[in-house]
Structure 1
Amino acid sequence: MTENWINLCIDGAVKAMTRTATFLRFGNGDWIMGYNRSFGNCSVFYVELWGILDGLTLIQDKLFEGVMIEADSLE
């Protein structure tokens, strides 16, 4: 993966409320940004899909050659 690629990492968690943590990094591993979002009562699978959508929305106007999406949901 080159610097013109971006890595979108999503991790969902369930406890009392479902949450997602999303991280964006350049292809060389340099940090771009990260954020958390709460979703209330729903499955981790849906939370991770929302994290992917949010991340892709944030980078849609940027000039990257490609996006590698990483999610850890086992559902």
Structure 2
Amino acid sequence: MQESVAVVVFPPIGTEKWVPPDEGWVKINVDGAVSRYESRAGCGGVIRDRSGEWVAGFTHFLGSCSVFQAEEWAILKGLSLAWDLGLRRIILESDAKEVLDMLDDDRMGSRGDLLYWSIKDLMSRGWELKFQFAPRDRNVVADTLAKQGLSSSAFLDTCPDYLRTLVSNEMMGLIPLL
């Protein structure tokens, strides 16, 4: 039974810091990455609670694919992880506006690829989902995890040491030069 699914693409709201979800919700930030120099792609993401505490994260090596597909994979992996963890009130943020727009377009019909249909299948499950656009400077942790995915796959049940400062800085709006 489907409770509520909404794909909402918001423009930047004038803040560059990570914005926590409402009480009872978690936020997933995802990103895809493709190496300019090698035919490798990866994706990554992080799930955080209202206080910004790390719930889980992932990196995933994809092999060779397009940037668009890497972004689709990131959304699929992020939603799958949330579902597997029993999380049912999700805000998913991505800097891939084209992918978010595609997911909001019910006219895709047979034009959607396998990843599109896999994401749509997950969206139809019994949970509350909101999709939001997050500019790249509010998605730095996910971007870093996606770049890790260029060479490895991992489930991260705790925040890795190399990300602790970045997670804190992103929450405070202290964004590194990208």
TM-score tier by shorter-chain length is 0.7 to 0.9
The match for 2:82 among 59, 62, 70 is 59
Structure ranking higher in helix proportion: 2
In 2: Cα distance, 1:14 partner to 1:57 partner: 21
CA 63–8 in structure 1, closer or farther in 2 if over 3 Å, else same: closer
Which of the pair is proportionally richer in strand?
1
TM-score of the aligned structures, taking structure 1 as reference length: 0.79
CA shift for structure 1 position 63: 4.7
Aligned-CA RMSD value:
1.8
Q: Name structure 2 gaps, 5 residues minimum.
A: 1-20, 99-178
Paired residues of 2:32 and 2:73 also in contact (CA < 8 A)? no
**Distance between the aligned counterparts of 2:28 and 2:95, measured in 1?**
12
Identity over aligned pairs, percent: 36
2:47 equivalent to 1:24: yes
**Structure 2 match to 1:14:** 34
**What is the SS of the residue equivalent to 2:57?**
strand
Give the structure with higher Rg (CA). Answer: 2
Closer, same or farther: CA 63–11 of 1 in aligned 2, 3 Å: closer
TM-score by length of 2: 0.37
Q: Deviations over 1:37-66 (max 9, x none)?
A: 1111111221121121122112225254x2
Consecutive unaligned residues in structure 1, runs of 5 or more? none
| Structure 1 runs (4+) greater than 4 angstroms displaced | none
Amino acid at match of 1:58: L
- Secondary structure at the counterpart of residue 81 of structure 2: helix
Aligned length: 74
